[in-house]
Amino acid sequence: HWTERASEAWNERPYDHNKWFFGAGGEVPRWAGYAIGFELVKNYLAAHPSRKPSTLFDEPATSFQP
């Protein structure tokens, strides 16, 4: 559910970091951003097995978008 909501909100402006990562406002569960990010990177690495997590620091965010 939250991964789908995050996908819908991918390009929303302004971006509300506190909402997605700390649950500010009560709309999104606390730490949801971290959990969603973990899933996005996990899925990316599964689709790109030759890539290593340590090399992804400059990968564009759009590469991880579902």
Calpha distance 29→49 (Å, rounded): 31
pLDDT at 52: 96
Residue 25, phi then psi, degrees to nearest 5: 90, -10
Nearest to 40 by CA among 19, 18, 59: 59
Give 11-38 as a DSSP string: T-SS--HHHHHH-TTSSS-TTHHHHHHH
Residue 37: the pLDDT is 92
pLDDT for 34:
94
Per-residue pLDDT of the chain (66 residues; tens, 9 = 90+): 777 888 888 888 898 999 999 999 988 999 999 999 999 999 999 999 999 999 999 999 999 987
